[in-house]
Each structure stands twice: as C-alpha cells, then as structure tokens.
Amino acid sequence: MNIIPRILILFLFFFTSCEDLNTNNTNHQVNLKDIYGELEPLKERILTEEERDAMSPMKIVSSFIQGNQRFIKNNLTVRDHTKMIREAALGQTPKAVILTCSDSRIPVEDIFDKGIGDLIVIRISGNIISNEILADMEHACRELGTKVVVVMGHDNCRAIKSAIDKDKSGNLASITLKIKDVIENTKNILGPRNKQNSQFINAVIQNNIQNSIMEIRKESPILNDLEKNNRIKIVGAKYNMASGEVLFDI
C-alpha cells in the first residue's frame, strides 16, 4: 500500500478513537457497556419488609437454586454495594439463615448470588448445632421474619474426617464429639468405616446435615412451631466443592 493512504487510515483511526473516548467520558453507562459487554445492568437492591414477606419459603429456596445456577455459570448479579450499604443501614429483612461449615472454600453469598442484607450466615466446622446457634436462628426467624433455615454441609469436610478419626486434640473435641453419634448411626455402607472410604464419608456428611435439622426441630420449640405453622421452612443442602453446585434436600 502506498504511504499516503496508510497515513490517511492512521489519521482516521486516531480521530474516531478520540471521538469514542469523548463519548464514553460523558456517558458512564455507555462506557461500562462497551467494556463489559454482556453484563446485566444493576438490578439488585435491599428488599423492603413487605417485599420479603410476600415471598413464600419455597419461593426463597427457588431463588437460591436460580442464584446457584448463576454462580456456577460465573454470571453473578452486578451489585451497587455502596447504594446497598446505605439502604441496609435502615434495617434488615434477611430472607434466610444459612448454617454451614467454616471451610474457606464456601463463599456463601456468592454461592446463592445474594447480597448485603439477604442472608444471616452462621458458620462452624461441621455445621453442628449448639444453643448459641439455635438462639441466632430463633432471633432471625421470630424477630427478623426470616423464612428459611438452610443447613448446608459440603463434601471433603475436614470436621467430618476428624470426627471419623476420633480426633480430640485441643478444643476440637467440642466439635468431633457432636458428630460421634452420627458416625455410629451411619450403617449399611460398603467398605471400611474410615476416612479413606469416600462412600462412608459422604454418608456421614449427609446424615450429619439431617442430624442438625433434627436437632433444630427437637431443641427449639420456637423454630419447630414456626415450621409447623408454615411460617418457615427448614431444609438441608450439600455444596459440591468441585462444581459449585448446591443440591437441596426438599
């Protein structure tokens, strides 16, 4: 190509680029759209109490399943956290209490694509139950109007493996002893009853989730009554570390 047309093309490219930059600088939304392309516009905000109360417990669980699908597909909702912090300062109307393990690989809000003010998250190794945890759940459901209690275990749980190993070192016994009965009651599993047997570990994890749910109903008449009156729903769930998927037991 001749040198003159080349200079002309470069000039035109420079001119149109400057024009684009000018347009973007005066229109923030156009700029974001150009940069991020497929990202959805901001749509999350803090729910009012009326909006939360209009949701049934099953609708909330359903929104968690949909949010988990967005998490798996790396399509989390874009949130204006600054705006949400300001809105949340006025009060909280959380949709659910999530009791899960303290494992660092479980980013609870992200897993369900939820934001500020959506969840009360209680974390302890092995997602076990204590009086303090029940008190938190009761406060959430009775005082704050939370409608769903989720007990979420996960595969490869260190607390479960330690309990199977009968590890009581340090203060760990306060957790492993709470899982002892679950392990003893996990039967009809092929192979050895140790942490080398993944089938046995998975069965204990599943039974431990159900045991926590049973303890909630048994040890908290408040939560038990709320569930019997269809004011709340108590459900089990299991988080898959490799896929990011949460399977609800409903």
* Contact residues: Zn ion, CB under 5 A: 101, 103, 157, 159
Q: CB 149 → Zn ion: shortest distance, Å?
A: 18
Q: Which is nearer to Zn ion, 134 or 157 (CB)?
A: 157
Burial (CB < 10 A; 0-12, 13-18, 19+), residue 175, is buried
Q: CB 99 → Zn ion: shortest distance, Å?
A: 12
The residue ranges of DSSP E strands in 60-172, in sequence order, are 96-100, 119-123, 148-154
The DSSP code sequence of 160-175 is HHHHHTT---TTTHHH
H/E stretch holding 236: strand 233-239
Strands 233-239 and 246-249, sheet pairing? antiparallel
Q: Give the CB-nearest residue to Zn ion.
A: 101
Query: What is the spatial distance between Cα 87 and Cα 100, in angstroms, rounded to a whole number?
Result: 27
Q: Which is nearer to Zn ion, 109 or 155 (CB)?
A: 155
Q: Which is nearer to Zn ion, 86 or 105 (CB)?
A: 105
Q: CB 240 → Zn ion: shortest distance, Å?
A: 13
Q: CB 51 → Zn ion: shortest distance, Å?
A: 33
Q: Name which of 216, 215, 196, 7 is nearest 97 in CA terms.
A: 216
Hey, how many other C-beta atoms are within 10 angstroms of the C-beta on 91? 11
User: In one letter, which amino acid is 248?
Assistant: F
Q: Which is nearer to Zn ion, 120 or 159 (CB)?
A: 159
Q: Which is nearer to Zn ion, 60 or 201 (CB)?
A: 201
**Whether the Cβ atoms of residue 99 and residue 127 lie closer than 8 Å to each other:** yes
Q: CB 158 → Zn ion: shortest distance, Å?
A: 5
Q: CB 82 → Zn ion: shortest distance, Å?
A: 33
Q: Which is nearer to Zn ion, 95 or 161 (CB)?
A: 161
